Amino acid sequence: MTILANILVIFFISVGLIFIAVTAIGLFRLPDLYTRAHAASKSSTLGVMCILLGVFLHFWLNEGHFNPGILLGILFLFITGPVGAHIMSRSSYLAGVKPWKGTVRDDLKEEFERMKKEQGIK
């Protein structure tokens, strides 16, 4: 039973570590803000969820302590990580950060121009 629990814990923590490493490399190498926000939101959310699930299983199966706070943390990170990245990249588009020069289509641009023309501001 202990061996099985340790295998589960090590598996979840290793998967989380892989995703955290992918996040760091993506933030280091990708060319513009939107691709970096893509890397930072998705893979770091999944990585920290896997690590917290491994820690929760360790405290539950090895030490007999069921901690609902970690489950609440997993749920909260799952909800707020992508929402935070979405709001940040949308506000940076409205503030005028240009996409990478190899971007093929830009759907928000026409909507943004139309919105500016209707409101007559900026």
Integer CA distances (angstroms), 72 to 13, 18, 102, in order: 18, 23, 40
Asked if 105 contacts 99 with a C-beta cutoff of 8 angstroms, the reply is no
In angstroms, rounded to a whole number, what is the distance separating the alpha carbons of residues 24 and 67?
29
Asked if 49 contacts 78 with a C-beta cutoff of 8 angstroms, the reply is yes
Binding to another protein (CB under 8 A) within 23-42 occurs at 23-25, 27-28, 33, 36-37, 40
| Residue 63 binds another protein (CB under 8 A) | yes
Q: Binding residues for another protein, per CB under 8 A? A: 6, 9-10, 13-14, 16-17, 20-21, 23-25, 27-28, 33, 36-37, 40, 44-45, 47-48, 51-52, 55, 58-59, 63, 65, 67, 69-70, 72-73, 76-77, 80-81, 83-85, 87-92, 94-95, 97
